[in-house]
Structure 1
Amino acid sequence: MNKAQSIRNKIGKLTPGKVFSAKSLNLDGTATTRKILSRLEKKGAIQRVDGRQGFYFIPKQGVFGTVKPPRGVLVRALLTDENKGYRSGLSLYNKLGLTTQVPGNITIACNMFPRTTTVGGVEVQYRKARAPITKDNIPLLQYLDVFMDIKNIPDTTPGKIVKQMKEKLKGLEKSDVKRMIKLSDYYPKRVQALLGALLENLCGVEAAKPLKKVTQSGSIYKLGIKECELPNRAKWNIR
């Protein structure tokens, strides 16, 4: 089997609307591979994703012509291919069920410099991640991002978010909790205070002890959370 046939076979197994790159299909990045993909594009077998070099999708025909891949598919393809970032911002908060508001763009926290681009007709904002990114710590960083933006998430309140995040933190292993505490050092003290209050509430004083240092400065963290929503807020200087 020659190289062109091998590539056609791999692409033939993909479903309509699927976004892919040479890397995601384990293809080499040689000029020969690029020429084969270019020929397939000219034949209409694949279509290039606008604004993202090296990304293609399998055309899916709708009533009004070719249907572009949904933004969720684009995000997964970008993150899988680059392996350098994670979903954040309003699109993350919507995915976690914290807000019903659907964003007009996608935010990706990454190790690269901040920039804004358009991919497949969708605006993608890359912002600098606060902490080093690894596959295992992405969910923990996403939770910390929620705490970071808790006052700015639309169509909800900080108190409602606290209630929802309590349930999500319950599902973490002890090892995850320890890693999350370490990662919180990269975030503002108000994030550490909120994490500490929630962990103390859920797991006890000892679990939150490493974070207690944030209360020593005497700073007050105005997060808009009521005492009935977080009974131990005063101990963590949260208002």
Structure 2
Amino acid sequence: MNITTSIKNKVARIDTGEVFTYDTLSIAQSEFSAAAKALSRMVSNGVIKRYKNGMYYKPKQTAFGELKPREDELLKNYLFENDKQIAYITGVRLYNHLGLTTQVSNVMRLASKDKEIKTKIGSLVIKPAKSYISVTKKNVPLLQLLDVMKDFKNIPDMDKKLGIDFLKEKIDKLSDADKDKLTSFAKAYPPKVRALLGALLEALSLDQLSQSLKETINYLSSYEFGISEKTLPAITNWNIT
């Protein structure tokens, strides 16, 4: 089977509106030139459309005109590489999704350990953020929880008590294995994250995990989160204000 026929068959199996790339089509580097010509012919014939260089989609017609690819479909190409997750959504977009703020931003932060992701998707501006841990699909929810702690003081319009209750509930519902991972991952984060997580673990009577974090913190340092002792009594043991 030649490359043109192979690509046509693969594209035929892709749903309308779904974004695909050379990686999606499993095109070998030695076949890129022939594949580019085949895809260009398909664009010219209206079978597919080019979203941007190297990214294509099958257009879907509705009563209101052509339906563009969804934002989440376009994001997949930045969140995943060779079917492995390499980045995750963080920042205000995440905190809005979690119900911690009502603010919506046209800037989305994508955190990755090894890549700096900058691009635009329509009016959405993608900016890079730092992931302190190598990203996998399984650990993203834990890293996002730690990001909430890291940005806790600066999450727009967030009620601090609501934020603490949210974190306590999420941590309490984790499996024992994930609680261990969360604590281990926190050790790669700034000290203020370890302090807040330590106080939360103490409040949940997870003393062994809490103590393992206290050993990593300078007892002379203090951390400002804008949290009252009434909201989280354990802060007195962690120099948190």
Instruction: Give the conservation status (yes or no) of the 8 Å contact 2:106–2:123.
Output: no
Q: Deviations over 1:73-107 (max 9, x none)?
A: 22223212363211111122222232232220221
What pairs up with 1:91-130 in 2 under 5 angstroms? 91-112=93-114, 114=116, 116-130=118-132
Correspondence for 1:13 = 13
Q: Rate the CA distance shift 1:234–1:81 in 2: closer, same or farther, 3 A.
A: same
Aligned to 1:157: 159
Structure 1 residue matching 2:95: 3-state secondary structure: helix
| Deviations 1:30-65, CA, capped at 9 Å, x for gaps | 222222222212222222223xx3111221334554
Shift of 1:143: 1.2
* SS class of match (2:169): helix
Tell me if the contact between 2:71 and 2:121 (Cα under 8 Å) persists in the aligned partners.
no
Contact 1:151 1:157 in 2 (8 A): no
Where in structure 2 are the equivalents of 1:114-193 lying within 5 Å?
A: 114=116, 116-193=118-195
Q: Match of 2:162, as an amino acid?
A: K
Q: CA deviation at 1:141?
A: 1.4
Given candidates 23, 35, 38, the residue that maps to 1:36 is: 38
Q: Which amino acid aligns with 1:118?
A: K
CA deviation map 1:156-199 (0-9, x unaligned) = 22321111122221232222222222221222211101111111
Flag the 1:65–1:81 CA change in 2: closer, same or farther, 3 A: farther
Cα–Cα, structure 1 residues 122 and 46, in superposed 2: closer, same or farther, change >3 Å? farther
Count of aligned pairs: 237
Instruction: Name the counterpart of 2:58.
Output: 58
Equivalent AA in structure 2 for residue 101 of structure 1: Q
* Inter-CA distance 59–203: structure 2 relative to 1 (3 Å threshold): farther
Q: Which runs of 5+ in 2 are unaligned?
A: none
Checking the alignment, whether the CA contact within 8 Å between 1:68 and 1:120 is kept in structure 2 is no
User: Secondary structure at the residue paired with 1:209?
Assistant: helix
Secondary structure of 1:8's match? helix
Equivalent residue, structure 2, for 1:222: 224
> What is the percentage of aligned positions where both structures have the same residue?
38
Q: In 1, are the aligned partners of 2:110 and 2:117 still within 8 Å (CA)?
A: no
Q: Unmatched 5+ residue regions in structure 1? A: none
Equivalence for 1:213: 215
In structure 2, distance between residues paired with 1:96 and 1:28: 40
C-alpha separation in 2, matches of 1:210 and 1:104:
39
* Cα separation, 2, equivalents of 1:171 and 1:7: 45
Q: Work out the CA distance in 2 between the residues paired with 1:72 and 1:102.
A: 16
Q: Secondary structure at the match of 2:220?
A: coil
Q: Is the 8 A contact 1:223 1:238 kept in 2?
A: yes
Given that 2:112 and 2:130 are in contact with CA atoms closer than 8 Å, whether structure 1 keeps it comes out as yes
> Compared with structure 1, are the counterparts of its residues 207 and 182 closer, same or farther at alpha carbon in structure 2 (3 Å cutoff)?
closer
| 1:73 and 2:73 matched | yes
Give the aligned residue type for 1:202. L
1:46 is aligned to 48
- Residue aligned with 2:80, SS: helix
Report the residue type matching 2:58 in the other structure. Answer: I
Change (3 A) 1:171 1:14: farther
CA drift of 1:2 comes to: 4.3
Q: CA deviation at 1:72?
A: 2.3
Letter in 1 for 2:174: L
Deviations 1:96-134 (A, max 9, x none): 232232220221111345463223443111233223333
